[in-house]
Amino acid sequence: MISIEFVAYDTKLLKLIFACVDGKTTIKVEGLLSPLLKKIEKQFDPYLKFLPAQIRGGTLYLSTTLPPIPSKPFERLVYSQIKRAFRFHTPDNLTIMVTKSCQCQCKHCLVHNMEDDAELSKNEIFSVIDQAQKLGVSQITFEGGEPTLREDLSELIRYINKTKATSMVVTNGQYLTEDYVQKLKKSGLDYINISIDSPHPLEHDMFRGVSGLFMDTAKGIRNSVRSGILTGILYIARPGNCDRETLKKLVSFCKELGVFELLIDKIVASGRWTGKDVLNETQEEDLIKFQQDIAQVEGKNLITNFFQFKKPTVFGCFAGRRWCYISPSGEVMPCMHIPISFGNVKQEKLSEIWRKIRKHPLFNRNPKACTYEEAMYRENYLKKIIGKGTLPYYIEELDLA
Ligand SMILES: C[S@@+](CC[C@H](N)C(=O)[O-])C[C@H]1O[C@@H](n2cnc3c(N)ncnc32)[C@H](O)[C@@H]1O
Ligand code: SF4
């Protein structure tokens, strides 16, 4: 049995070590400040052993949702956890929805009724990146709409300071030609997550409203894997696409293409999916069981059930605590599923807007569930938003209404 240790954080007061034994990872915290991270060690450890750990060039990659270990961005993530222990929350991930445009009409999409105000310019996005890095983020994600429709995407990626944050693109994958992927690679892109909604080509095309999309996307995934960018498939589980047979076919597809991670999250009744069915507890448990069964059969991990991490018994809701979203026109939201703006980066500093989010009763406490599932959000906010036209809504208006 070979055990390889990766020191993720090493100061006089705190040492954080990840040990990788036969593809399974464990975490160890040492030093005077270790009690601050013990809770995380205890809560995260059972999940860690199922992450698709891979060692590349002496660096440990656990998931496309985490910076590599060791790396400066990961050190910043650890530092952010230490601050969190003192109730000082700064975002770990900033997601910029760089455009509202998209060639698809997905049945669940939450972007379709967002405002049509002018998109942020390249320089405005540069400024948001600077401000987010100053605030402490360790990962910056570009999505949309469809981020590959934005001509300056590779310039935006290149602008990220590698010693501060890793970069990620979330895309429907249709335009990931060999040349385009090389362009992303040259701009320094670390991770890419490509959305698939069914391993059955026709079903995927019908769900996304574009015929032939599945074949183009499969080519895009292949190009991305070949380029060496750490590539994941992002699968949004909903009633109807997560029975065992479908999932087995999805796993075969992932293996055939050689993707690093199958990242599964659950559908949210937002956007076009408002009022529609979401997963029930049994379906969530089945996904967890399936992940474990696949790990056993394959002898290595592939699936990350991301929705588990948002449970109150693990990290709790990420909205406005670990996550910050910027809409195509610069509105700052706690999460893409909570279409409430706390300010616009064209008019206010990101740090000031973040302070407003942190002070708000929706986010200045430990929630019992994901914010969008909580009665407090549904009664006092969601009811006022549904069917009211373009999003996002302004928090001041909702609080007064
Ligand atoms: C909004 S899309 C933008 C990036 C790109 N166009 C794509 O489809 O990957 C980002 C991710 O959000 C997911 N998504 C869209 N609507 C959702 C919903 N109602 N619940 C959960 N995820 C959703 C998509 O499946 C996709 O994986
Ligand atoms: S989920 Fe992505 S691909 Fe689908 S319509 Fe929305 S932005 Fe476009």
Question: Quick one: which ligand is closest to 277's CA?
Answer: 1
The yes-or-no verdict on residue 389 having pLDDT over 80 is no
Mutate to test the pocket of ligand 1, among 236, 267, 278, 304 (most ligand atoms within 8 A of CB): 236
Give the C-alpha separation, 308 to 367, whole Å. 15
User: pLDDT, tens digit, for every residue of 153-179?
Assistant: 999 999 999 999 999 999 999 999 999
Q: How far apart are CA 53 and CA 6, in angstroms?
A: 12
DSSP 3-state percent helix, strand, coil across the chain (nearest 5): 40, 20, 40
CA of 323 relative to ligand 1 center, distance in Å = 16
Q: Is the predicted pLDDT of residue 181 greater than 80, yes or no?
A: yes
Contacts for 58 with CB less than 8 Å, ≥ 6 apart: none
Task: Catalogue the long-range contacts made by 154-157 (C-beta closer than 8 Å, 24 or more residues apart).
Answer: 154/183, 154/184, 154/186, 154/187, 154/189, 155/122, 155/187, 156/96, 156/98, 156/122, 156/125, 156/126, 156/129, 157/184, 157/187, 157/188, 157/189
Give the 3-state secondary structure of residue 112.
coil
pLDDT at 392: 84
Q: Indicate the pairing of strand 261-266 with strand 323-326.
A: unpaired
Cα–Cα distance, 203 to 391 (Å, whole number): 29
CA nearest neighbour of 112 among 346, 327, 370 = 327
The C-alpha R_g of the chain, in whole angstroms, comes to: 20
| Model confidence at 21: pLDDT above 90 | no
Residue % of the chain over a pLDDT of 70: 100
Confidence at residue 296, expressed as pLDDT on a 0 to 100 scale? 92
Gap between the Cα atoms of 304 and 302, Å rounded? 7
Contact 368, 312 (CB under 8 A): yes
Which ligand is nearest to the Cα of residue 266, counting in written order? Answer: 1
Ligand 1 within 6 A of CB of 395: no
Write the pLDDT tens digit of every residue in 294-319: 999 988 899 999 999 998 888 899 99
Q: Which helix (H) or strand (E) holds 343?
A: none
Query: In the structure encoding, which two tokens stand for residue 100, read together?
Result: 């509202």
Cα dihedral 339, 340, 342, 343 in deg (nearest 10) = 60
Span 208-220, average pLDDT = 98
Distance from the alpha carbon of residue 291 to the mean position of ligand 2, in angstroms? 26
**Ligand 1: nearest atom to the Cα of 146:** 6
Instruction: Spell 226-265 as b/e; 16+ CB within 10 A means b.
Output: ebebbbbbbbbbbeebbeeebbeebbebbeebebbbbbbb
Give the C-alpha separation, 190 to 139, whole Å: 10
pLDDT at 374 over 70: yes
| Residue with CA nearest ligand 2 atom 7 | 145
Distance from C-alpha of 4 to C-alpha of 25, rounded to nearest angstrom: 9
Q: Which of 243, 145, 175, 232 is nearest to 203 (CA)?
A: 243
Residue 73 CA, ligand 1 centroid: distance in Å: 25
User: Residue 135: pLDDT above 80?
Assistant: yes
pTM of the model: 0.96
Q: Is the pLDDT of residue 391 over 80?
A: no
Structure tokens at 301: 């991990």
Ligand having the closest approach to the CA of 106: 2
Q: How many whole angstroms from 121 Cα to the centroid of ligand 1?
A: 23
pLDDT at residue 253 in the model: 98
Expressed in angstroms and rounded, the spacing between residue 109 Cα and the centre of ligand 1 is 6
Cβ of 110 closer than 6 Å to ligand 1, yes or no, is yes
111 CB less than 6 Å from ligand 1? yes
| pLDDT band, very low/low/confident/very high, at 39 (cuts 50, 70, 90) | confident
pLDDT of 209 > 70? The answer is yes
Q: Which residues of 4-15 are buried (b: 16+ CB within 10 A; e: fewer)?
A: eebebbeeeebb
pLDDT of res. 312: 87
Work out the number of other CB atoms within 10 angstroms of the CB of residue 351: 12
Number of residues assigned to the chain: 401
Kindly state the DSSP code that residue 392 receives in the 8-state scheme: P
Q: What is the pLDDT of residue 117?
A: 85
Residue 195 near ligand 1, beta carbon < 6 Å: yes
Which band of pLDDT confidence, cut at 50, 70 and 90, is reported for residue 268? very high
Q: For the beta carbon of residue 280, count every other beta carbon within 10 angstroms.
A: 10
Say if residue 1's pLDDT is above 70: no
Q: How many A from CA of 195 to the centre of ligand 1?
A: 7
Which protein residue's CA is at the shortest distance from atom 1 of ligand 2? 109
CA of 161 to the centre of ligand 1 (A): 26
Ligand 2: list residues with CB < 6 Å: 102, 104-106, 109, 111, 144-146, 172, 208
In the numeric block, which tokens belong to residue 61?
A: 């990659």
For the chain, percent of residues with pLDDT exceeding 90: 79
Q: Does the beta carbon of 142 lie inside 6 Å of ligand 1?
A: no
Q: Give the mean model confidence (pLDDT) for residues 355-363.
A: 96
Cα distance between residue 47 and residue 146, in whole Å: 31
pLDDT digits (tens, 9 = 90+) for 67-112: 999 999 999 999 999 998 888 999 999 999 999 999 999 999 988 7
Tokens of 47: 């999940």
Rounded distance between C-alpha atoms, residue 212 and residue 399, angstroms? 45
The number of the ligand 1 atom at minimal distance from the alpha carbon of 111 is 1
